[in-house]
Structure 1
Amino acid sequence: MKKSLTALAALAALTGSGLAAAQSSVTLFGVVDAGVTYQSATARDALTGASVKTSKTSLSNSGYNSSRIGFRGTEDLGGGLAASFWLEAPITNDDGATGISTFARRSTVSLSGNFGEVRLGRDYTATFWNDTVFDPFGTNGSGTNVISTVSSSTGLNNANYVRASNSVGYFLPPNLGGFYGQVQYSFHENTTTDATSTTAASSSSAGRYVGGRFGYANGPLDVALAVGQNVAVDTTTLERKVQTINLGASYDFGPVKLFGELSNVKNKFDTALGNSHDTYNGYLIGASVPVGAGLIRASYSVVRYNEGAAGVTGEDPRAQKLAIGYVHNLSKRTALYATVARVNNRNDANYTGSLVSDSTTGYGSAGVGFAGVPRSSTGYDFGIRHAF
């Protein structure tokens, strides 16, 4: 349940802050999610060809929803104009090690009106929305689709995959008959110089993100197209750009809600020897089925690597993931959940993402490692989520 911080506003007024006293609403909100996670992974030793299996059992967080705590507020400026802020911090409630030390999930201030909304700060990227909105598992826990995990992998070094700092975003107003959209630009904040850059690590453009998303939501239908490009930091190329385009849709029939997504990611290199790129093509199909107080979730996702991507040498390399789960709602705020997922790599696909979620990002984190060429992995989540 959301808590109105009237005491905080009163305290601010007593300290003589007229601006704080004019704040129309300030809300404390959050999620505490914890569960037992089991992971196992099988790999092939690159030298001997022998199979190596590793496994791990842990108390994790964010298996259903990302654990977080946040503050948001809005001031009515009159004439349909409003100023808002949003500060949201990741928390690791399994060990208590991470609290409100940073607002790395979101930290924005915005101005909105009949013209739409202008938002400044750290926020979700336009291209990440489709990966999470059209995934029945919401890119959380063992069920996270492989499109999301590959896109955020270390090999791509796409630091602006989920969120971008130093961004300026514009959102269309909500009164456009179901049409919605946003455009976003993230400043790289590097010093510009006339000297020739020898690697993307010293390029003045490294860290810049630009993207947009446009969609239509009306009744049971929701469909959106997103395009974005991030200039990645790289120590071996003159410049490297990670270009993303994805199309997602969902349709709620009532007894079942269907999800789907198509995704293309290009890892584009500009080197002294010329230009080249790796390509990752993915798709997802999924469904959620209400059953009494519960919800069954299922998805199947695939990412195909072009030959040579991320050092892959096999013919038609791809990663495939099947996930199924059940959520039982004890109330509007509290739920029990269980998820099982299986990943299979085909023809040396270099999928090394974990199956466990991470509260700081909401998608895959460091879990079971692969001792050699990854072949398959399995993950289970059993947990409880409480929102307030």
Structure 2
Amino acid sequence: MKKSLVALASLAVAGAASAQSSVTVFGVLDAAISGYKNQSETPFGVSVTKTATALTSSGYNSSRLGFRGTEDLGGGLAAGFWLETGMTNDNGNGAATGGGLNFNRRSTVSLSGNFGEVRLGKDFSPTFWNDTVFDPFGANGVGTNLITTASGGAALGVPNSGFQSNPNYVRSVNSVGYFLPPNLGGFYGQFMYAFNEQVSYDPGGLTPPGAAAIVANPALALTPNNARTGRYFGGRVGYANGPLDVALAYAESTIGSNYYVGTTTTLDTLNLGASYDFGIAKLFSEYSNNKQKTAYATNAFNPFGTTKPGANGGVFGVTVPVGVGVIRASYSAVKYNNLPVGFFASQPKADQFAIGYVYNLSKRTALYTTFAYINDKGGAALGVTGSPTFYTGTIPGGAGNAVPNKSMGYDLGIRHAF
């Protein structure tokens, strides 16, 4: 009888504990057959084409495996965690390092209540949300808008400009984030600060390679120390009610520094996006203004002034439900400005058209296809997501140097969520 009572008590305690907390395993597997074609052309009309066909992943949604959970702490408080790793299921590789999972997408622990939510760890940057939420293709596959493509890396766009490689573009590590509570009549907001976790010196003359070494070899003064690199702060505020969603975001990300010389380079991003669902169609739009700022301290190594090469971008899109499926289409463009080009040369720019269709076999499984076409001008080298780099070498026979001209690609795939 006592054993029975103990067993019943144990079950009751276990039941109470499970009612106070929950853990969910979730994921997405997305695979597609993708084709790419990038063309470069010389001033004499001679073209060089690079093509590729591959089995890829994440053409519609990003493939991932995740674990999330919450614990009710009472009094309206809750603790939570979120661990998520990306996967390339086309070749069976995950984000594994050292025999364990690398949670390279999101890795946060949080505390939430009536005040909102505080998250610590690696999480989406506020400014990236507008680039993906207000894109009909959600920043996945060949249809990804040019703002996202140009911000993905220097090899994809124009180095030393408003759009270039930025370690804090999609997600920020070492971050502290705050989210407004969800009961504000449709208003929402997110604010984030990410620590750079670099070492700085005071006085600055002790910063490696050190003042004595610089005096002996002035060229060492040009060696970046990057004592400020990695810092990020930004925020996003918006309003969502019924068919309308609109949001404004701003961020400053430090991408380079030379602490002793006194230069700091940041990427400043300001974007505004909106969507409206009319029922028969949902419209999307976004504008992004970006500047690279290199601030010079006043010392023997630097002149006065700040350089501000920049870039602007825009997205216009639509989704149209058709039966159990949906048609997606978008137009996006980027234009660089204040770059040091020749007197007769124009600033680099590019535009892209994308169209696709998603057929939902169920709530979890969908078939999809997407086609995208990019036109590059003035030295821009933007290719559809996943495409090979452009050929930019000299063509034998006096044909001249090849310049990126156009890019196109398609995805044909299946997505399953669990």
Question: Does TM, normalized by the shorter one, top 0.5?
Answer: yes
Residue from 58, 61, 65 that aligns with 1:62: 58
Residue of structure 2 in register with 1:27 after alignment = 24
TM-superposition CA deviations, 1:260-281 (whole Å, max 9, x none): 0000111112353442121111
The 1:205–1:99 alpha-carbon spacing in structure 2 relative to 1, beyond 3 Å, is: closer
Secondary structure of the structure 2 residue equivalent to 1:142: coil
Kindly report the root-mean-square deviation, in angstroms, between the aligned alpha carbons of the 2 structures: 2.5
Offset, 1:51: 1.6
Residue from 303, 307, 317 that aligns with 1:276: 307
TM-superposition CA deviations, 1:243-290 (whole Å, max 9, x none): 000000000000000000000111112353442121111111000000
TM-superposition CA deviations, 1:206-245 (whole Å, max 9, x none): 1000000000000000000000010003679922100000
Q: TM-score, normalised by structure 1?
A: 0.87
Offset, 1:355: 2.3
Q: Which has the larger radius of gyration?
A: 2
Offset, 1:97: 1.9
Q: Matches of 2:71 and 2:344 in 1, distance apart?
A: 57
Offset, 1:163: 0.3
Offset, 1:49: 6.8
- Consecutive unaligned residues of structure 2, counting only runs of 5 or more, are 1-9, 208-220, 297-301, 393-402
Residue of structure 1 in register with 2:166 after alignment = 158
Count of residue pairs the alignment pairs up: 361
Residue of structure 1 in register with 2:270 after alignment = 245
Secondary structure of the structure 2 residue equivalent to 1:158: coil
**8 A Cα contact 2:144 2:384, kept in partner:** no
Residue of structure 1 in register with 2:292 after alignment = 267
Greater Cα offset, 197-206 or 78-87: 197-206
**8 A Cα contact 1:203 1:238, kept in partner:** no
Offset, 1:158: 0.8
**8 A Cα contact 2:95 2:103, kept in partner:** no
1:72 and 2:63 matched: no
1:371 and 2:391 matched: yes
Secondary structure of the structure 2 residue equivalent to 1:131: helix
- 2:127 is matched by which residue type in structure 1? T
Secondary structure of the structure 1 residue equivalent to 2:104: coil
Q: Matches of 2:340 and 2:241 in 1, distance apart?
A: 39
Offset, 1:354: 4.0
Residue from 214, 231, 241 that aligns with 1:218: 241
The 1:92–1:309 alpha-carbon spacing in structure 2 relative to 1, beyond 3 Å, is: farther
Residue of structure 2 in register with 1:121 after alignment = 121
Secondary structure of the structure 2 residue equivalent to 1:167: strand
Residue from 351, 374, 378 that aligns with 1:320: 351
Q: Matches of 1:238 and 1:191 in 2, distance apart?
A: 16
**8 A Cα contact 1:200 1:234, kept in partner:** no
Residue of structure 1 in register with 2:400 after alignment = none
Residue of structure 2 in register with 1:98 after alignment = 94
Offset, 1:203: 3.3
Q: TM-score, normalised by structure 2?
A: 0.81
Residue of structure 2 in register with 1:359 after alignment = none
Q: Give runs of aligned pairs for residues 124-273 of structure 1, distance below 5 A.
A: 124-154=124-154, 155=159, 156-194=164-202, 195-196=204-205, 198=221, 201-233=224-256, 238-271=263-296, 272-273=302-303
TM-superposition CA deviations, 1:313-354 (whole Å, max 9, x none): 831431100000000000000000000000001232x23344
Greater Cα offset, 156-165 or 104-113: 156-165
Residue of structure 1 in register with 2:210 after alignment = none
